[in-house]
Amino acid sequence: MQDIIKSLHPLEREIIPLLKDGITSIELTIKSKRKEVEVMRALQWLENKKALKIKLELKEIIHLGELGKKYKTKGLPERRLLKELPKAMKDVKLPKAELNIAIGELKKRGIIELGKQIKIKNKPKEEFLEEKFLKTLPREIKNLQAQEKHAYENLKKRKDLIETKLEKIRTIELTTLGKKLTKQKIKTNMIEALTPKMIKSNAWKGKEFRHYDVEINVPKIQGGKRHFVKTASEYGKKVWLEMGFEEMTGPHLDSSFWVFDALFTAQDHPVRDLQDTFYIKSNSKLPKKELVNKVKQAHENGIKGSKGWQYKWDEKEAKKNVLRTHTTNLSARTLANLDKKDIPKKFFSLGRCYRNESLDWCHIFEFNQTEGIVIDPNANFKHLLGYLTQFAKKMGFPKVRFRPAHFPYTEPSVEGDVYDPIHKKWVEFIAAGVFRPEVVVPLLGEDIPVLAWGPGFDRIITSAYKIKDIRELYKNDIKQLKETKHWMR
């Protein structure tokens, strides 16, 4: 007990004698004549010491309005008029608006009689109920006595005298330790700090110093840090690098040739509609004629026995600029520039993509995607599933499942889901497959197995951070940014 007493802050020493079960922080603020923030600090420190518990409740509290604050010190208009009577009305020093109110109130109570002069019929011997009530504010409505309720109803009819607010009220409940503390004799003059002057003069000798409480609540200091989406993305890149991949980079605004045509996506395919994409008015130049002709051949007549799409390929469509709908445009560019002497090779990318999506908890029109390709004559479909499972596990998702799918540029194709423990459902996070010859041959010059995938990275982040709505990733809430922990998986 003595150790606790020696560690008490001066604010705690002032508050302890006022404590009792059921007292509120508002009442303590009034009794201690301290600021509310000081009282709350003292209560929180005492709660840390297990001397009390703070209960939070919603209560209707009556406060003084702007006029109420004025009248609490100067007096109500009716009281001030009574003091000046029986003066002639021309000599009464009350603003006209207040004078009218005062006359009305006093007449209603039967205190004055109107005529050529105002006569006092029945001078009150004590304060009006309203005057007494104003001095007690702030108060909780449900604790008002019958007379106080009457005063409250009268004052409520008058403009700006009182106002009622729904507030969070903190009520104090003392523990056994707290009850013992309130009965102790606690000094209030303990020395808080040792100063150079005290050391020089030896004034510290024989004095009692307050002990420091090392477990006390202190304000949290939030250091500067990068956005948590950025740190998660950097971690994702690190995972791919550890697995032996090289990073691909490239433009966000690219021609339809690289985003769609080079990936054997037909020019009348629904994904190329405005409903799914963002086109830019300006057009782009196409790459070398030889490469363009190979892609055109794949679309019109096919490659290695396939029939292609059996339509006339339009160069104008391929020139249209589009905000990339996936990062697979980087895979197409990488294959076209790859030296076959360097095979086998593994590449990845992680960056922004853009789609004309309807916003909801799991869809957003600007999002992060991570791309990967493996170019290896010995690669097969099992290797593909192995890479995807390993990446998901390293990102903190041990539960992964795969199901057959169809994409224009891969065969076989697969979609992967990770289990979202927040929504308790499987969430799609990846589209993958082995690039078709119609993609590989025009770009690389020969048919070599190329494993390819593109997980939606933002869905991984939301699940890892227990964020229920993907839109919260980019709302730039300062509190969220301060409190979100650094990515550690």
Q: Which domains does the chain have, with CATH numbers?
A: 228-483 (3.30.930.10)
Over residues 397-410, mean pLDDT? 89
Per-residue pLDDT tens digits for 204-235? 888 888 887 777 767 777 778 888 888 888 98
| Inter-residue long-range contacts of 129-133, CB under 8 Å, 24+ positions, other chains counted | 129/154, 130/76, 130/154, 130/155, 131/75, 131/76, 131/79
* Nearest one of 357, 361, 352 to 472, comparing CA atoms: 361
Question: What b/e sequence results for 448-463 when a residue is b if at least 16 CB atoms lie within 10 Å of its CB, and e otherwise?
Answer: bbbbbbbbbbbbbbbb
Q: For residues 279 and 440, what is the distance between their CA atoms, to the nearest angstrom?
A: 26
pLDDT at 489: 61
Indicate the length of the chain as a whole number: 489
pLDDT at 300: 93
pLDDT at 486: 77
* Nearest one of 44, 54, 15, 53 to 215, comparing CA atoms: 44
More confident residue, 163 or 467: 163
E-strand stretches of 125-229: 139-140, 162-174
pLDDT at 212: 79
Q: For residues 182 and 466, what is the distance between their CA atoms, to the nearest angstrom?
A: 44
- pLDDT exceeds cutoff 80 at 420: no
pLDDT at 317: 92
Per-residue pLDDT tens digits for 283-327? 889 999 999 999 999 999 998 888 999 999 999 999 999 999 889
| For the chain, percent of residues with pLDDT exceeding 70 | 98
Query: Across the chain, what does the average pLDDT equal?
Result: 87
pLDDT at 488: 67
Per-residue pLDDT tens digits for 240-251? 999 999 999 999
pLDDT at 161: 92
- pLDDT exceeds cutoff 80 at 447: yes
pLDDT tier at 458 (50, 70, 90 boundaries)? confident
pLDDT at 421: 72
pLDDT tier at 401 (50, 70, 90 boundaries)? very high
Q: For residues 117 and 105, what is the distance between their CA atoms, to the nearest angstrom?
A: 17
More confident residue, 479 or 459: 479
Per-residue pLDDT tens digits for 359-379? 777 778 888 888 999 999 999
